């Protein structure tokens, strides 16, 4: 039996459908190009023709409508006098680049007078503002609609108010609808009668939007009635109270972020100084090595800045840790029990490390790029935002602290470190190789210092003197918290960071540090062992 012939009709129909869709797409693209060409021809004419061009652009709902309106509003749309072609010009200087609006081709501006800006009059500015408001309020994304309303709060006119009144009833999102109501209330403050103004004040009471506060302040300076001014002052007092509250939260957040940096800088020293009794003046340079390691990793991974930070963390730990072990094996092991000689020797090592970095990288500061995922803000409200970089450093500090506690509490190395710190002779009698424990402990503390350098590279420039700015703070954190106590280091670092930020607004940065230092000196007079003193044999040594 012969096989049935394959009928070509379905394939023919499929190809016809594809051709039809392709034809419709090309036709739509041609219509868009034709509309843009018509708009371009109108925008180079007089003001009334330009207004017609803007109206045509909005009426046809061209895909580039919003882009072109913003270019007009920002004064970045020019036309070439020779052929009246429109260009996007960010800088009109000779030698700058201009992009053709229609085909995107780039030309170099040889003479500034060859290009002329598409200027606007007040009527066109209002027309563009209204069009942008309508486009923003029609957006599907609620955040974009909210941003459009916030943009209108500070620049209301009768046209935008009319748009808001038409859209507020159809707005499904409560937050956006509340912003629209506030915008209309601001307009009522300016143009309404006494009853409307009182109702508007009630609506705006508690709002933290900056234009709301500005509008209430302007109302107090106007010729409004006494009752209106009294209610406006009460609303303004409530808003100011909220602003002060969130200002305190912001200070606390900045203090915790600074404290996290101090904890990262001091926690490695808490191990070497607290467990081994070594005054390591080269601790700051170990932090500096971690920061330079981050810089080198970024140079090796220029196209993967976000991943380079994650690679730099273990790399900085290894580099600083190995240098720390070399310092302990080469110098410090000969000076145990002689703190003054240890201090002088490590101070000399710090100078050597600084000069080595100057010779390799030059004395100039190096900038480490912040990854995109660490940039930006988390906006809680219009007056309180959390910077992501500081938030990540706080989380990073807590992770490093937790990892260090786990190492010292849950690993054989941690058990041996605690044994040696409490009774070195008994630990040796039990078979613990105290010399290697000393080396690994010093390496662990130095590696954590390198990790602190990774965090600091995101806050400041990397230079040979980076570590010097944090060595004194590190010792203050360790002594204040209790020598050798990790939890004391955490509490002390966060406390000192918050204290610095609380004192800075009225005492200044330098005087705030001096006051903190004086407080620690007085505190140590009363409690020489710090907030959380060691107990048992470790405290007796």
DSSP-derived secondary structure letter, 528: T
Q: Does residue 273 lie within any of the structural domains?
A: yes
Residues 282 and 424 in one domain: yes
Of 338-347, 494-503, 506-515, where does mean pLDDT reach its minimum? Answer: 506-515
Confidence of residue 401 (pLDDT cuts 50, 70, 90): very high
Q: State the Cα–Cα distance between residues 46 and 270, nearest whole angstrom.
A: 74
Residues 134 and 264 in one domain: no
Q: Which residues of 453-473 are buried (b: 16+ CB within 10 A; e: fewer)?
A: bbbbbbeeebbbebbbebbeb
| pLDDT tens digits, one per residue of 131-156 | 777 777 777 888 888 888 887 776 77
| Number of helices and strands in the chain (H, E) | 21, 7
Q: Does residue 215 lie within any of the structural domains?
A: no
pLDDT at residue number 6: 45
pLDDT at residue number 326: 92
Question: Is 235:208 a contact under the CB 8 Å cutoff?
Answer: no
pLDDT at residue number 27: 45
pLDDT at residue number 534: 62
Which has more confidence, 177 or 25? 177
Of 87-96, 309-318, 446-455, where does mean pLDDT reach its minimum? Answer: 87-96
Q: Which residue has 């503002």 as its token pair?
A: 129
Q: State the Cα–Cα distance between residues 530 and 481, nearest whole angstrom.
A: 5
pLDDT at residue number 410: 85
Choose one of 103, 138, 173: the last residue of a domain: 138
In the chain, the percentage of residues whose pLDDT exceeds 70 is 89
Choose one of 86, 116, 138: the last residue of a domain: 138
Q: Does residue 167 lie within any of the structural domains?
A: no
Q: State the Cα–Cα distance between residues 301 and 267, nearest whole angstrom.
A: 29
pLDDT at residue number 275: 67
Q: Which residues of 324-357 are buried (b: 16+ CB within 10 A; e: fewer)?
A: bbebbbebbeebbeeeeebeebbeebbeebbeeb
Mean pLDDT over the full length of the chain: 82
Q: Does residue 461 lie within any of the structural domains?
A: yes
For residue 262, with 0-12 CB atoms within 10 Å meaning exposed, 13-18 middle and 19 or more buried, which class applies? buried
Residue 427 sits in a domain whose CATH number is 1.10.3470
Q: Does residue 326 lie within any of the structural domains?
A: yes
What's the mean pLDDT in 313-335? Answer: 91
Question: Is 500:513 a contact under the CB 8 Å cutoff?
Answer: yes
Tokens of 317: 């730990």
DSSP per-residue codes, 214-250 = HHHHHHHTTT--HHHHHHHHHHHHHHHHHHHHHHHHH
What's the mean pLDDT in 516-520? Answer: 85
* Residue 367 vs residues 272, 296, 446: alpha-carbon distances, Å: 30, 11, 23
Q: State the Cα–Cα distance between residues 133 and 160, nearest whole angstrom.
A: 7
pLDDT at residue number 291: 93
What's the mean pLDDT in 342-357? Answer: 91
**Residue 451: is its pLDDT beyond 70?**
yes
SS3 of residue 98 by DSSP: strand
Q: CA 289: distance to chain centroid? A: 24
Beta bridge partners of 77: 88
| pLDDT tens digits, one per residue of 203-245 | 888 888 888 888 888 888 888 788 888 998 999 999 999 999 9
Confidence of residue 402 (pLDDT cuts 50, 70, 90): very high
**Residue 20: is its pLDDT beyond 50?**
no
Q: Does residue 184 lie within any of the structural domains?
A: no
| pLDDT tens digits, one per residue of 481-501 | 877 678 888 998 999 889 988
pLDDT at residue number 13: 55
Residues 296 and 429 in one domain: yes
pLDDT at residue number 540: 47
DSSP-derived secondary structure letter, 372: G
Question: Is 188:166 a contact under the CB 8 Å cutoff?
Answer: no
- Say how many domains are in the chain: 2
Q: State the Cα–Cα distance between residues 211 and 219, nearest whole angstrom.
A: 12
pLDDT at residue number 194: 84
pLDDT at residue number 26: 42
pLDDT at residue number 34: 67
Q: Does residue 290 lie within any of the structural domains?
A: yes
What's the mean pLDDT in 28-32? Answer: 51
In the chain, the percentage of residues whose pLDDT exceeds 90 is 17
Residues 266 and 130 in one domain: no
Choose one of 88, 103, 138: the last residue of a domain: 138
| pLDDT tens digits, one per residue of 78-132 | 888 878 788 888 887 888 888 887 777 888 888 878 888 888 888 788 777 777 7
Q: Which residue has 């180079």 as its token pair?
A: 44
* Residue 327 vs residues 417, 439, 512: alpha-carbon distances, Å: 18, 9, 34
pLDDT at residue number 141: 83
Question: Is 204:185 a contact under the CB 8 Å cutoff?
Answer: yes
Residues 118 and 263 in one domain: no
Tokens of 196: 């409307």
What's the mean pLDDT in 301-321? Answer: 91
pLDDT at residue number 16: 52
Confidence of residue 21 (pLDDT cuts 50, 70, 90): very low
Q: Does residue 380 lie within any of the structural domains?
A: no
**Residue 64: is its pLDDT beyond 60?**
yes
Confidence of residue 394 (pLDDT cuts 50, 70, 90): very high
**Residue 315: is its pLDDT beyond 90?**
yes
| pLDDT tens digits, one per residue of 256-308 | 998 998 898 888 888 887 667 778 888 889 999 999 999 999 999 888 888 89
Question: Is 269:278 a contact under the CB 8 Å cutoff?
Answer: no
Residues 351 and 489 in one domain: yes
Residues 271 and 131 in one domain: no
* Residue 51 vs residues 60, 117, 121, 376: alpha-carbon distances, Å: 14, 15, 10, 38
Residues 264 and 125 in one domain: no
Residues 483 and 351 in one domain: yes
pLDDT at residue number 22: 47
pLDDT at residue number 89: 84
> Which residue range is the domain that position 54 belongs to?
34-138
Confidence of residue 395 (pLDDT cuts 50, 70, 90): very high
Question: Which spans in 3-140 are helix H?
Answer: 9-43, 47-59, 65-73, 122-137
pLDDT at residue number 321: 92
């Amino acid at each position: 039996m012969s096989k049935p012939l394959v009928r070509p009709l379905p394939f023919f129909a499929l190809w016809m459908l594809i051709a039809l869709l392709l034809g419709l797409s090309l036709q739509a693209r041609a219509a868009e190009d034709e509309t843009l060409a018509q708009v371009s021809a109108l925008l180079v004419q007089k003001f009334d023709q330009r207004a017609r061009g803007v109206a045509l652009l909005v009426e046809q709902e061209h895909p580039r409508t919003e882009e072109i309106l913003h270019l007009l509003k920002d004064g970045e749309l020019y036309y070439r006098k020779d052929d009246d072609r429109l260009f996007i010009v960010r800088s009109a200087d000779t030698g700058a680049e201009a992009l053709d609006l229609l085909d995107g081709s780039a030309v170099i501006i040889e003479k500034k007078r060859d290009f002329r800006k598409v200027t606007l009059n007040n009527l066109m500015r209002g027309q563009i503002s209204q069009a942008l408001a309508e486009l923003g309020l029609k957006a599907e994304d609620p955040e974009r609609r909210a941003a459009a309303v916030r943009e209108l709060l500070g620049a209301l006119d009768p046209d935008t108010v009319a748009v808001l009144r038409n859209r507020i009833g159809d707005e499904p999102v409560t937050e956006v609808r509340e912003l629209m109501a506030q915008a209309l209330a601001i307009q009522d403050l300016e143009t309404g009668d006494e009853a409307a103004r009182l109702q508007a004040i009630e609506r705006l009471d508690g709002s933290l939007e900056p234009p709301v506060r500005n509008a209430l302040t302007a109302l107090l300076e106007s010729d409004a009635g006494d009752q209106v001014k009294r209610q406006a002052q009460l609303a303004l007092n409530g808003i100011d109270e909220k602003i002060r509250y969130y200002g305190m939260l912001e200070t606390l957040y900045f203090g915790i972020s600074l404290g996290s940096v101090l904890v990262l800088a001091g926690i490695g020293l808490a191990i070497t100084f607290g467990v081994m009794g070594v005054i390591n003046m080269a601790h700051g340079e170990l932090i500096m090595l971690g920061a330079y390691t981050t810089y080198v990793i970024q140079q090796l991974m220029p196209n993967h800045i976000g991943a380079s930070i994650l690679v730099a963390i273990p790399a900085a730990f290894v580099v600083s840790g190995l240098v720390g072990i070399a310092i302990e094996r080469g110098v410090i092991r000969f000076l145990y029990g002689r703190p003054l000689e240890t201090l002088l020797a490590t101070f000399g090592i710090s100078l050597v490390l600084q000069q080595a970095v100057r010779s390799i990288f030059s004395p100039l500061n190096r900038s480490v790029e912040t990854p995109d995922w660490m940039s930006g803000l988390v906006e809680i409200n219009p007056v309180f935002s959390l910077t992501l970089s500081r938030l990540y450093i706080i989380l990073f500090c807590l992770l490093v602290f937790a990892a260090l506690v786990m190492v010292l509490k849950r690993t054989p190395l941690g058990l041996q470190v605690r044994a040696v710190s409490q009774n070195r002779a008994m630990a040796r009698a039990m078979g613990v190789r105290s010399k290697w424990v000393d080396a690994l402990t010093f390496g662990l503390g130095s590696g954590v210092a390198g990790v602190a350098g990774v965090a600091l590279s995101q806050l400041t420039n990397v230079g040979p003197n980076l570590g010097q700015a944090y060595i004194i703070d590190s010792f203050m954190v360790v002594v204040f918290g209790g020598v050798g106590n990790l939890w004391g280091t955490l509490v002390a670092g966060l406390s000192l960071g918050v204290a610095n930020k609380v004192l800075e607004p009225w005492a200044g940065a330098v005087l705030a540090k001096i006051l903190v230092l004086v407080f620690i000196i007085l505190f140590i007079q009363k409690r020489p062992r710090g907030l959380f003193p060691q107990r048992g044999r470790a405290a007796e040594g």
